[in-house]
Amino acid sequence: MTDLSSRLQNAIAPVITYDSQIEIVEGDGTWVTDSNGNRYIDFACGIAVTNLGHRPPRVLAAAEDQLGRLWHAGGSFLYESVATAAENIIEVTPDTVEQVFFMNSGAEAVEASVKLARKTSGRQGIVVFRGGFHGRSMGSVSYTTSRAKYRSGYFPLVPSVFVAPFPHPYRWNMSQEDANAYALNELRLMFKHEVAPDEIAAFLFEPLQGEGGYYPASYEFTKAIRELADEHGILMITDEVQTGFGRTGDFFTSQVYGIDPDILVMGKAIANGLPLSAVGASKEILAKWEPGSHGTTFGGNPVSCAASAAVVEELKDVMPGVAERSDFSVTRLGDLQERHRTIGDVRGLGLMIGIELVKDDREPDTEAFGVISRKAEELGLFILNCGPDNNVIRFIPPLNVSLDDLEAGITILDQAITSYEE
* 70-97: pLDDT as tens digits: 999 998 999 999 999 999 999 999 999 9
Q: Which of 287, 318, 349 represents a domain boundary (last residue)?
A: 318
- 132 and 16 in one domain? no
Q: Say if residue 1's pLDDT is above 70.
A: no
- 48 and 78 in one domain? no
- By percentage, how much of the chain surpasses pLDDT 70? 100
What is the count of structural domains for the chain?
2
- 185 and 62 in one domain? yes
- Please, which residues have CB within 8 angstroms of residue 122's CB and are 6 or more apart in sequence? 201
For residue 75, what pLDDT is reported?
A: 86
CATH value at residue 118? 3.40.640.10
CATH value at residue 14? 3.90.1150.10
- 254 and 198 in one domain? yes
For residue 119, name the pLDDT band (cuts at 50, 70, 90).
very high
For residue 2, what pLDDT is reported?
A: 78
CB-CB contact of 311 with 271 (8 Å): yes
- 346 and 334 in one domain? yes
- 106 and 50 in one domain? no
- 352 and 312 in one domain? no
CA distances from 132 to 234, 239, 356, 389 (A): 19, 10, 17, 14
- 196 and 297 in one domain? yes
Residue 404 burial by Cβ neighbours in a 10 Å radius (0-12, 13-18, 19+): exposed
- 292 and 377 in one domain? no
pLDDT digits (tens, 9 = 90+) for 49-64: 999 999 999 999 999 9
- 37 and 90 in one domain? no
Q: Which of 318, 342, 361 represents a domain boundary (last residue)?
A: 318
Domain of residue 413, residue span:
3-56+320-421
For residue 58, what pLDDT is reported?
A: 98
Closest CA to 41 of 23, 27, 60: 27
For residue 195, name the pLDDT band (cuts at 50, 70, 90).
very high
pLDDT digits (tens, 9 = 90+) for 235-262: 999 999 999 999 999 999 999 999 999 9
Closest CA to 244 of 218, 207, 281, 274: 207
- 352 and 314 in one domain? no
Q: Which of 318, 336, 353 represents a domain boundary (last residue)?
A: 318
- 210 and 82 in one domain? yes
